[in-house]
Amino acid sequence: MYARLAAFTRAETGRLVSAIEAARLGRTAPAVARPLAVAVMAEVLGLGQADPGTILTWYDGIVAAVQAEGRRRGPRPR
């Protein structure tokens, strides 16, 4: 599993960087980080070519729910 995921991640990173170079984008981090994270998680979860926008909507919902729960519970004791 590790080797397959590593190969997928390298290939996806190469694809994203090539697209950035072709588009001559100045800031590479935003153009790589979020799309790469979505692609890797889709691969890990077996979602294949799922729509990245849909996956990001799920992610945003999870983050919002976790933040709301944290606010509800208040600060953790140290």
Tell me how far apart the alpha carbons of residues 70 and 76 are, in angstroms, rounded to a whole number. 9
The answer to whether residues 36 and 13 touch, using CB atoms and an 8 Å cutoff, is yes
- Tokens 């790589």 correspond to 32
- pLDDT value of residue 46: 93
- pLDDT value of residue 20: 78
Q: What is the pTM of this model?
A: 0.63
As given in the structure block, the two tokens for residue 38 are 């979505």
The answer to whether residues 47 and 12 touch, using CB atoms and an 8 Å cutoff, is no
As given in the structure block, the two tokens for residue 33 are 């980080």
pLDDT, tens digit (0-9, with 9 covering 90-100), for 9-36: 999 999 888 887 777 766 666 778 888 8
As given in the structure block, the two tokens for residue 40 are 């890797």
pLDDT, tens digit (0-9, with 9 covering 90-100), for 57-73: 998 999 999 999 988 88
